[in-house]
Structure 1
Amino acid sequence: MRVSRILLALVAVAPLAACQSRMQTAALDDESAWYTGTMPDKPFDVPLVDTSRLDPKFRRQTVRYTGAEKPGTIVVDIDQRHLQLVEEDGSARQYGIGVGKAGFSWKGEARVGRKGVWPDWSPTTTMVSLNPDLPRTRKGGLDNPLGARALYLYQGNRDILFRIHGTNEPWSIGEQMSSGCVRMLNEDIVDLFERVPVGTQVLIKRSGKARV
């Protein structure tokens, strides 16, 4: 599928973003400039982003990890807009993320209760109360707000309705735009998805001091 066709599909879903967002005017100036091609995947190829358009601190990289969490833990820093996967050697794989608008972000401990490939999307009750015109479901695909993969966060056996997922709004990485979920570039969530099993511990931390 040509990238131009992918972009048309992505534009169509923008107002529906799970963990909803309002698109930034600057991002709309030339959406096609955000994309460089595709990565093979099933049942859809993953649109690849020109990461040179991101602030370097939000590009995927390996960093030193100084926290106390054990290897294999996902650590999300809402204030710094980073997600880190702690490695065995004192390092972490770090990814840039988009986070929730003021008043929507969650913090605490959870685990990956299940994983989804090109998952279906449904709005939460809160999202519907704020926007009754939202569709009640959307099948997985290029026009789906959850993107190519999703990690569903649970506490005990309860789905707490927060997700770590892909996005078709790459310009939202590093921004505070969603309704609470953690969003990543599609190629980054695919990378993380392959590295973490169901049961992975997740720590989401937020002090509020760095929020804008």
Structure 2
Amino acid sequence: MRRQVRPAMLPSRRKAVRMLLSVVGLPLLAAACTTVSPPPPQIVNATPTVDPLAAERYAALDTERFSVPAVSLEDLKPAYMRQLVDYPTREQPGTIVVDPEARFLYLVQEGGKALRYGVGVGKEGLEFTGTARVERKAQWPRWTPTPDMIRREPGRYAKWAGGMAGGARNPLGARALYLFKNGKDTLYRIHGTNEPWTIGEAVSSGCIRMMNQDVIDLYNRVAGGSRVVVL
């Protein structure tokens, strides 16, 4: 029996089939190589969040005899802002504890708590340790540099040897607490400052400085004769 021979595929037909396969295979190939694109990156707002409580506590005060401007939020270091903290101690509520090294002042409260304030510490603030009493409180106090300050920097302080009246430019700020021991002035002061950016820092002169808003708050809470412990 004679075997039938299939005629060879014509070149034009082979070309058509090849083109068809290439067209059909493109989507399959593309699907195999495609990866899931990640979602577009989210734009994060670079503006820092303002703590409403901090903004309120350190806002400008218009009820004072002299101007008390708001503390710039850029100068507010979170650790040194006024806040209630755990503070177990044997000291009685109402006692002030000053920790110059850590740059904190604590007002002891009931239940193992304390109001903690950030402070700046000058050279005079490191010259006394131990216990004392708040024998005097003053609003917008007069400032007189100590003899040591005048001796160290006469060009800066000698002109104020007779004292500077209280006011917005006075280095003692809005309030001052004067510490006495056994009836004698220790020359140690807890006072305000017109340089809030120095809170948490070691400064060239002064005792224990606080932001004016904080020293006003402390002044209103502390009674005359209160015990003060300087670590």
The TM-score with structure 1 as length reference comes to 0.75
| Count of aligned residue pairs for this structure pair | 170
Match of residue 45, structure 1, among 67, 71, 77: 67
1:180 Cα shift?
A: 5.0
Task: Map 1:34-113 to 2 at 5 A.
Answer: 38-101=60-123, 104-113=126-135
Could you say which structure has the higher strand fraction?
A: 1
In structure 2, the partner of 1:139 is: 165
Rg larger for:
2
Which ranges in structure 1 are unaligned for 5 or more consecutive residues? 1-35, 206-212
Extract structure 1 runs of 4+ deviating beyond 3 A: 101-105
Does the C-alpha gap of structure 1 residues 191 and 131 become closer, same or farther in structure 2, counting only changes over 3 Å? Answer: same
Structure 2 residue matching 1:143: 3-state secondary structure = coil
RMSD: 1.9
Q: 1:121·1:138 contact (CA, 8 Å) conserved in 2? A: yes
Structure 2 residue matching 1:70: 3-state secondary structure = coil
What is the one-letter code of the residue matched to 2:139?
Answer: V
Q: 1:152·1:161 contact (CA, 8 Å) conserved in 2? A: yes
Residue 115 (structure 1) aligned with residue 137 (structure 2): yes
1:203 Cα shift?
A: 0.4
Task: Map 1:169-184 to 2 at 5 A.
Answer: 169-184=195-210
In structure 2, the partner of 1:204 is: 230
Structure 2 distance, partners of 1:105, 1:92, is 25
The TM-score with structure 2 as length reference comes to 0.69
Could you say which structure has the higher helix fraction?
A: 2
1:47 Cα shift?
A: 1.8
Structure 2 residue matching 1:39: 3-state secondary structure = coil
Same amino acid, percent of matched pairs? 50
Higher relative contact order (CA 8 A, sep 6+): 1
Does the C-alpha gap of structure 1 residues 103 and 56 become closer, same or farther in structure 2, counting only changes over 3 Å? Answer: closer
Structure 2 residue matching 1:76: 3-state secondary structure = strand
Does the C-alpha gap of structure 1 residues 103 and 39 become closer, same or farther in structure 2, counting only changes over 3 Å? Answer: closer
Which ranges in structure 2 are unaligned for 5 or more consecutive residues? 1-57
Residue 161 (structure 1) aligned with residue 187 (structure 2): yes
Deviations 1:126-155 (A, max 9, x none): 111112231221100001000000000100
What is the one-letter code of the residue matched to 2:78?
Answer: P
